[in-house]
Amino acid sequence: MLDDIELLTQRVAPTDLRWSLRAVHERSEQLCVRQDIAEAPQYSRDAGVMVSVQDGDGLGHAATADTSEAGIAAAFRRAHGLARAVAGRMVFDPAALPPARARGRYQSEVQRSVASSPLRERLALLSQVSQTTHLDSRIVDWQASLLSVQTEQLLLTSEGGRTEQRWSQTMPHVQATAHVDGVTQTRSSAGQYNGWCQQGGLEVLDRASFSTEGPRVAREAIELTTAPQCPSGEMDVLLMPDQMMLQIHESIGHPLELDRILGDERNFAGTSFVTLDMFGHYAYGSELLNVTYDPSRPEQIASFAFDDEGEPAQREHLIEHGILKRPLGGAVSLARARAQRPDLQGVATSRAASWNRAPIDRMSNLNIEAGDASLDQLIGSIEFGVMMRTNLSWSIDDSRNKFQFGCEWGRVIRNGRLAEVVRNPNYRGISATFWRSLSMVGDASTFEVMGTPFCGKGEPSQLVRVGHAAPACKFSRVVVFGGEA
């Protein structure tokens, strides 16, 4: 399909205007076995193009799923018409944007493609996981699911840019709900919104230990029903990678999005407590905090070689030894921000949810680099605190400052040793000061590559898949609390 579109674009694209065309073809399969019964498989097949045309100081975008010659030509005409309609009334001058000339390819590393396994085999695996999750009658609901997505994208620009990228993404999930003596608790393999999401084929299931996760998830759900409530007070917390991913996402990722800082998102997703003058010197966290934008990790879900505006992507530190260095901003936002901060450096992370949305500043892979503490050392350093696993609840203000997060599973640490399991662990804080309480960072043995398939933002709204890898991290003097008895 992409080859045909390239040929047609060469025929119908304007020769006297600056333009780009981004074609997307995506297929997905969602399988779910709940309570040992396979639900109807859901497939999706989608294809279309987004055409952008600049005329003077106007820029318009038109999206269509009609990828015939006539359809693409019509999209060019509509985009041009919109560019004229808004000329002179835009918040930035599109004529001043840098040219997009990059050429290249990217392809996910896949060892065993999903298509290499018959549907019957995948359903049998899900049934087996479902059955092993139902440990006994205390488990009142349980399910195993598998989402696989294959995406192809071609970006062509009038400056000769041509990037072709192909991704394979796999997202397994196991969940169990237990009910004992009037208490109900739900536990999942990596969060109820597919925290285990990676690039690759069926080998992702091995990395996620999918075939053996059921009994653990079920045991922990049962354990939580009889566990005491999480203690309340100010104490140390040890956040494991499947909660760290959410902590990074909400209180580092979103506040560093340049379009938020520039005010684009104030009507919907919000603004940011970060301002342009902070870059280069602001102490975002303790000296132990090293945050990277890393599109180069093959298994991570948002790895790519080019962003959706055609900018080549490479690993960069956004925060180094606690000091804020760079925002998450692509070419358009960076050009605008440089009017105030000419020295500002961004990263290639303009992304679109699909062919029917224009790119905006997004997170891609946003990671915390490993430190040097083993898990035993982290636990051993805590006199009284709580280890928390697996995000359950998240809420943060529109400046991305005051947050409150909850986890599925907690465990008290007393005198440097793991003690009782506790339910409903929650904690709250303020982004601007929370990261300065980062007091120990786990080593590579505690590091896990996770993410979320559902990062929402933008007007019109867009969902993109975002990767977060992190080690276990210890934070000191955090306000912790549980639920009602």
For other proteins, the binding residues in 39-78 under the rule CB under 8 A are 39-48, 59-68, 71, 78
Which of 187, 357, 468, 474 is the binder for other proteins (CB under 8 A)?
Answer: 357
The binding track of 15-44 with respect to other proteins, each residue x by CB under 8 A or -, is: ----------------------xxxxxxxx
Which of 96, 107, 111, 268 is the binder for other proteins (CB under 8 A)?
Answer: 268
Cα gap 233→481, rounded to integer Å: 6
Sequence-distant contacts of 134-139: CB under 8 A, at least 24 apart: 134/35, 134/36, 134/176, 134/218, 135/215, 135/218, 135/219, 135/222, 138/178, 138/179, 138/180, 138/222, 138/225, 139/176, 139/177, 139/178, 139/218, 139/221, 139/222
Say how many C-beta atoms besides its own lie within 10 A of residue 278's C-beta: 18
CA distances, 311 to each of 157, 263, 440 (Å): 12, 23, 35
Burial group, residue 85, by CB count within 10 angstroms (0-12, 13-18, 19+) = exposed
Is residue 90 at the binding interface for other proteins, with CB under 8 A as the rule?
A: yes
Taking the least distance from each CB to other proteins, the nearer of 254 and 468 is 254
What is the end-to-end Cα distance of the chain in Å, rounded?
Answer: 58
The binding track of 98-127 with respect to other proteins, each residue x by CB under 8 A or -, is: --------------------xxx--x----
Residues that contact other proteins, how many (by CB under 8 A): 79
Taking the least distance from each CB to other proteins, the nearer of 193 and 207 is 193
Is residue 397 at the binding interface for other proteins, with CB under 8 A as the rule?
A: yes
Is residue 86 at the binding interface for other proteins, with CB under 8 A as the rule?
A: yes
Which of 131, 437, 463, 476 is the binder for other proteins (CB under 8 A)?
Answer: 463
Residues 140-169 interacting with other proteins (rule: CB under 8 A): 140-141
Is residue 91 at the binding interface for other proteins, with CB under 8 A as the rule?
A: yes
Is residue 79 at the binding interface for other proteins, with CB under 8 A as the rule?
A: yes
Cα gap 385→365, rounded to integer Å: 30
DSSP 342: T
Q: Residue with structure tokens 């990828």?
A: 67
Taking the least distance from each CB to other proteins, the nearer of 184 and 209 is 184
Which of 113, 131, 186, 476 is the binder for other proteins (CB under 8 A)?
Answer: 186
Minimum distance of other proteins from residue 114's CB (angstroms): 14
Structure tokens at 398: 């529109």
Phi/psi at 205 (5° precision) = -65, -35
Minimum distance of other proteins from residue 410's CB (angstroms): 13
Which of 177, 290, 300, 452 is the binder for other proteins (CB under 8 A)?
Answer: 177
